[in-house]
Each structure stands twice: as C-alpha cells, then as structure tokens.
C-alpha cells in the first residue's frame, strides 16, 4: 500500500482517482457481480442499494422478453403510473420524468407491433389507439400520453405552472411532422393539461379523506353530517366529470363542443367543491374570506386529484425539490397546525410530510433537501414520519465544494432521499452514502459511483449517519463501544486549562487548539467571536484533549454525524475519548508537536475594511499543512480504540 494515496495510472483511473479509490471501486464491482450471480438481487430496492441502472435493465428486459403478456401488463402499468412534483416550479422534474418514461413507451410499442405482426389478435386495441386516433407520429402520441396520463404538478406561483405547461407543450411540438397538404397541417390539437398542472398552496388544504374526517369530529354533529354528504356528492360528480373530460382528450375527439362542455362542467364542479371545502377550512379566521383565499391559496388534494387520492390511494411516484424557506417569516404568513412537522421551522420539512400523505401505500418518494435533514433536531418529526411509513429509506449526501449539485445556487449541502412507502408496522431499513465531495470534471460520474451502506443500527431519532462502506460501520461500532468517561474531562470555570475550537465553517479540517486566538481591531485586542472555549479539568492535559479532537478520527465522526458546517459543544461532549488515550505520553508529545506546527505555519493578516473603517489584524491557520502530524497522532490513537491496520489505514 505504499502508493495507496497516489494518483492511479491512466489505464485504470476515473478522473482524479487515487489507487485507494480505484481498488475500492473494483472491489465493489466484484461484490455486486457476485451478489447478482448468487441471486441476492431480486427486488427494486436491491437495485437502489447496489446503485444499479434500473432504466437500462428494464429496457433490456422489455427488448428481449418472449412473453407478450409481460409486455401487455407492463404497458398497462406504464400508462397508469402517476408521477407528481408537489412543488413543481417551472417543471424541471416533470420534464426529466417524461424523458425517462419516453423510451419505455417506445420499446413497448415496438414490441407490441412485433408480436402483432406474428399474431394479429395480439395488441389489436392498443395499436388501434395509435393508428386511428393520432395523426402526427408515434413520438407525438407517446409524449401526449405521458403528459395526460402520467404527469402531475402543483406550484404556488401561477407563472411557474404556465412555464411548466409550455415546456411540456414545446417537447411535443418539437417532434411533429408537418403535412402542408393536410387539414390543420396534419397537426393534432395540443392536449389541455390545466387539470394536470395546477396552481395552489401544497401545504394548505385537505389532502386526504382522513384529514377531512378528523376535521369533522369538531362542531355540530348534524351540520357535520350534512356537510359530509354534500362533499361526497360533489366529489362523485367531480370524478365523473374528470373521467369524461380525460376520455374526450385521449380519444382525440373532433367535437369541440363536447370538449368545451366537458371542460366547463369539470371547472364548475371543482369550483363548487372547493368552495365547500374552503369555507370549512376558513372557519373563524380573523381576516376577510377573500383576503384569506388570496394569502393562503388553499389547495385541496382530495378535490383536485380525487380520482388519484381516492381511487388509487395516492400518487405512485413523488419527486421534487421543495422550497428551503424558514418560517415564520414575512414570506410565510400561514400556519401548518394540522401538520405533525409544523414545528420544524422550514417548509421542506412540511413538504416532506405532505408528500408522505398523498403517496399511495406502496409508492416511491424522493426529494432533494438540505443535508440538515440527516442531523437536525428540529427535523426529527419529518425523519420519524419517514421511518414509520417506509420499508426502506436511502440518503445520498453531497457537499457543495469543490463541485456542487446546483451550479446556480452559491452553496447548498444537499441530501437526496428516496423512500419506499409501506403500511407495514416494521421500522424502515436505512441506507446512506458518505458525504460525497467531487471535482466538477467528475460530475458525469457522480451518481454512477454512489455507494450505499446499511446504517440502520446507528440511526437515532433524528440522526442518519453519512457512511458508504462497511469498514466505516466497523469503526463506528468500536468508537461507541469503547469505555470512556468524557464528561470527567471537562472542568468548571475555575479550571486553569482550556481547549479552543472554531464553531463554524468545518470545511476539510477543523481548527482546534490548546491556546486562544487573538485579533486586533483598530489596535485594540479582541477575542475571536467564532472561537469557543472548553474548560478542561485540572487533572487532565488540555494539549492531550485538544490533540484528540484534532484527529482525523474525530473529523470523520464529525462529518458522519453533523451538518458538516457547525461544530457544537454538545457534539464534542458526546465524542468518546478513552482515558488511556488522554494519559498516553505519546498523545501529549504528538499534541505538542501538532500545535507547535499550527503556530509555525500560521500567517498574520492585516486587513482594512473600507465599508466599516476597521483595521483588523488576525492570525490565519492552515491545518492541512500539519496533516503528517495528524496522521502520526491517529496511529497513536488506533491502539486505544482497538482499530485494525485496515481501519487505521482507512481513517488516515
């Protein structure tokens, strides 16, 4: 392993890879192939766990199966799957979903035509829909089917929903083959997707029948029964009107009068039902009803998508990038008292709960959210809800440096979670990845190289540790099984020794020292506000404690369990430090060498801020220049935590 951390030879390497990463990748590949050969991969969750290419697998299966019944049932399922983005914005996720579904439609149609050519009784009705009802081409038919049958979106901004519709329409128009001699140039009318892409507040309104029933437990019993009967009648009418309107669109009716009448009837029914529900939800609000409607923009999922919420039990697939907006704030004037996540303080937590509520019992649900969802106490309700309603959960974690997921956003440490919803009473199995960092040149390989590992046993009420490899689980196990008395190390105010740490900006190194940093502002000595002090009991050496907290082991644990930005006293207090490591003479000696090197490598900066008129003189530290001392220190620590050579090698 002498070349373990050097750049891999070009014939074996992916961009920026070192030998350690290359060999890990090859090893992983062998393990996956072995799992496939031994029949360990036999359900969709296994494809996610092993990060396999589901789309290519399905496409190949459809291309080569000799079973016409499989094609028939798959095509039927494909036409009926419902994909929702509950905060769709301009429709980027729906657009991507359409690009994923399109080749599956296409291969199904190719195979149906192939089977039909050999036996005219097979797929006669399915192919008749294409040949008789659509005049443009098969691709246009496919896009139209996906848009009408599969895609749904909601957003609070009406402008965003109009852009989303336009993007989908342009995708269809781009494949049209114009026939200048035919009526209307041979073009089909664009589909009406006003009832697929809707405007409203995802979080305000009745989502399910259960929510409505719960609301009816309050107030006058007879009035509630009358209200319930009126709502049920209206819902039935809305469902019938929607099916009639959808059928006219899919059949490509030339009768525009029937089309307009069906749409007008549906709008009227929906308006009547929404008025009923809005009045009930409004209750005794302290503002005028019209003002309340304008500020809250209630959206009743049960009414707007009755045929999906009631008929299908919810949406099959929910995807999206919900808003990361703190509340209460000037931008969020409404309350979410009916939501279990109402205290989480950020809209993405509430959107997560709403997504769970409106997905069907066996549905799939995935959001891109801040990495804080894996470690923030205030997100506990959202995490507990995901665990309680899912059979499997996946958390892929990403830094925003040096490369980042969203180029247009300055900084976003992100997590992509995937939930397989289940009504089983068993708690979810939880998988996670490490905190992925990559260079922009590696972006195209980022998702191909994701590696999940089972972290269920290490997940607490709101913590989902960020790890990718079984060896990390081994290290974590040993770390938290070791006998330690951390609390004894930290003394009271009268203690003479201290350790100092920077509370923010974790980056690639943590700055923890055995002496205070100083700053001069306009010549006056000031404490560094971002630096926090920990008093060390006089019985222990502050250099020894500080050096242990400066180890790569501590940094790895910090990355696994925090938001990778804020270092808190609470986290430090809970890090297990064995007494033998504190008292080891090598620990003290290595600590002295490390902190001396910190001081030797620091640079004094003198900066004048014209906007404030302040002249600031401060010390800037470069912990990376002392990495060899940190490595020596981790070697010393290894015996105290009973790490194997392989585990120590991984830590370094």
Write out pLDDT tens, residues 187-229.
Answer: 777 788 888 999 999 999 999 989 988 888 877 888 888 888 9
Q: What is the pLDDT of residue 642?
A: 94
| CA 216 to centroid of chain Cα atoms | 34
Q: What is the pLDDT of residue 651?
A: 94
Q: What is the pLDDT of residue 135?
A: 56
- Higher-confidence residue: 65 or 538? 65
Q: Has residue 445 got a pLDDT over 70? A: yes
Q: Report residue 488's pLDDT band, with 50, 70 and 90 as the boundaries.
A: low
Q: What is the mean pLDDT of the chain?
A: 90
Q: Has residue 486 got a pLDDT over 80? A: no
Contact 594, 497 (CB under 8 A): no
Cβ–Cβ contacts within 10 Å for residue 268, how many? Answer: 13
Task: Determine the average pLDDT of the residues in 36-64.
Answer: 94
Instruction: Return the closest-CA partner of residue 501 out of 452, 596, 567.
Output: 567
Q: What is the pLDDT of residue 182?
A: 75
Q: Has residue 242 got a pLDDT over 80? A: yes
* Residue 649, CA distances (Å) to 569, 645, 646 in order: 28, 6, 5
- What H or E segment, with its residue span, contains residue 604? strand 603-609
* Residue 639, CA distances (Å) to 1, 482, 578, 633 in order: 20, 12, 11, 11
Q: What is the pLDDT of residue 2?
A: 81
Q: Has residue 450 got a pLDDT over 70? A: yes
Question: Residues 6 or more apart from 573 whose CB is under 8 A from it?
Answer: 486, 487, 490
Q: Has residue 284 got a pLDDT over 70? A: no
Q: What is the pLDDT of residue 485?
A: 57
Q: What is the pLDDT of residue 217?
A: 81
User: Percent of the chain beyond pLDDT 70?
Assistant: 97
The Cα 616–Cα 522 span in angstroms is 6
Residue where the block lists tokens 């301009």: 90
CA dihedral 328→330→333→335, nearest 10 degrees, is -10
Q: What is the pLDDT of residue 254?
A: 58
Q: Break the chain down into helix, strand, coil percent, rounded to 5.
A: 50, 15, 35
- What H or E segment, with its residue span, contains residue 525? strand 524-527
The Cα 393–Cα 389 span in angstroms is 10
Q: Has residue 565 got a pLDDT over 70? A: yes
Q: Report residue 635's pLDDT band, with 50, 70 and 90 as the boundaries.
A: very high
Question: Residues 6 or more apart from 69 whose CB is under 8 A from it?
Answer: none
The backbone torsions φ and ψ at residue 81, rounded to the nearest 5 degrees and listed phi first, read -70, 135
Q: What is the pLDDT of residue 123?
A: 96
Token readout for 436 is: 């992925």
Token readout for 504 is: 């923010």
Q: What is the pLDDT of residue 559?
A: 96
The Cα 141–Cα 135 span in angstroms is 9
Cβ–Cβ contacts within 10 Å for residue 374, how many? Answer: 28
pTM of the prediction? 0.93
The backbone torsions φ and ψ at residue 525, rounded to the nearest 5 degrees and listed phi first, read -70, 130
**Could you tell me if residue 603 is left (phi over 0), alpha (psi between -120 and 50 degrees) or otherwise beta?**
beta
């Amino acid at each position: 392993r002498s070349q373990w951390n050097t750049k891999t030879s070009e014939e074996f390497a992916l961009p920026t890879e070192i030998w350690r990463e290359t060999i890990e990748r090859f090893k992983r590949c062998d393990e996956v192939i072995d799992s496939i050969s031994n029949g360990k991969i036999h359900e969709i969750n296994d494809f996610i766990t092993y990060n396999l290419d589901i789309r290519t697998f399905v496409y190949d299966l459809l291309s080569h199966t000799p079973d016409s019944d499989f094609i028939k049932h798959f095509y039927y399922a494909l036409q009926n799957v419902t994909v929702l983005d509950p905060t769709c914005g301009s429709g980027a996720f729906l657009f991507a979903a359409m690009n994923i579904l399109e080749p599956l439609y296409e291969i199904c149609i190719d195979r149906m035509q192939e089977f039909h050519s050999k036996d005219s009784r097979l797929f006669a009705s399915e192919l008749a829909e294409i040949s008789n009802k659509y005049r443009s081409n098969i691709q246009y038919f496919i896009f139209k089917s996906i848009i009408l049958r599969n895609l749904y979106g909601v957003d609070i901004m009406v402008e965003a929903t109009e852009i989303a519709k336009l993007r989908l329409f342009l995708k269809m128009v781009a494949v049209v083959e114009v026939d200048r001699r035919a009526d209307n140039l041979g073009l089909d009318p664009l589909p009406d997707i006003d009832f697929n892409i809707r405007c409203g507040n995802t979080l305000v309104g009745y989502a399910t029948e259960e929510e409505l029933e719960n609301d009816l437990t309050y107030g006058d019993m007879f009035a509630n029964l009358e209200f319930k009967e009126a709502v049920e009648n209206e819902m039935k009418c809305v469902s019938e009107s929607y099916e009639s309107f959808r059928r006219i669109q899919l059949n490509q009716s030339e009768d525009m009068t029937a089309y307009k009448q069906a749409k007008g009837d549906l709008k009227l029914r929906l308006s009547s039902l929404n008025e009923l529900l809005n009045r009930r939800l409004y209750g005794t609000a302290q503002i005028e009803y019209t003002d309340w409607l304008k500020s809250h923009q209630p959206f009743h999922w049960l009414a707007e998508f009755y045929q999906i919420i009631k008929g299908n039990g919810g949406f099959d697939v929910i995807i999206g990038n919900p808003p990361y907006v703190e509340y209460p704030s000037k931008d969020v004037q409404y309350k979410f008292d009916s939501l279990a996540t109402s205290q989480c303080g950020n809209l993405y937590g509430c959107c997560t709960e709403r997504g769970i509520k409106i997905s069907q019992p066996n549905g799939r649900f995935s959001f891109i959210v801040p990495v804080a969802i894996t470690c923030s106490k205030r997100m506990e309700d959202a995490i507990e809800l995901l665990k309680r309603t899912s059979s499997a959960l996946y958390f892929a974690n990403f830094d925003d440096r040096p490369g980042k997921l969203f180029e247009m956003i300055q900084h976003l440490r992100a997590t992509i979670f995937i939930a397989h919803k289940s009504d089983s009473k068993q708690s979810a199995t939880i998988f996670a990845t490490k905190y992925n960092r990559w260079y922009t040149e590696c972006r195209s390989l980022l998702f191909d190289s994701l590696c999940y590992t089972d972290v269920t046993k290490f997940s607490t009420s709101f913590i989902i540790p960020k790890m990718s490899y079984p060896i990390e689980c081994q290290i974590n196990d040993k770390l938290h099984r070791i006998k330690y008395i951390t609390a004894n190390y930290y003394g009271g105010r009268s203690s003479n020794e201290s350790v100092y740490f920077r509370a923010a900006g974790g980056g690639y190194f943590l700055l923890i020292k055995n002496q205070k940093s100083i700053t001069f502002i306009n010549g006056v000595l000031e404490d560094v506000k971002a630096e926090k002090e920990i008093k060390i009991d006089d019985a222990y050496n502050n250099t020894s404690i500080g050096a242990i907290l400066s180890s790569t082991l501590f940094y790895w644990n910090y990355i696994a369990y925090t938001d990778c930005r804020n270092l808190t006293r609470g986290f430090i207090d809970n890090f297990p430090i064995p007494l033998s490591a504190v008292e080891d003479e090598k620990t003290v000696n290595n600590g002295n060498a490390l902190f001396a090197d910190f001081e030797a490598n620091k640079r004094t900066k003198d900066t004048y801020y014209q906007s404030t008129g302040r002249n600031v003189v401060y010390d800037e530290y470069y912990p990376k220049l002392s990495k060899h001392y940190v490595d020596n220190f981790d070697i010393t620590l290894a015996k105290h935590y009973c790490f194997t050579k392989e585990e120590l090698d991984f830590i370094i």
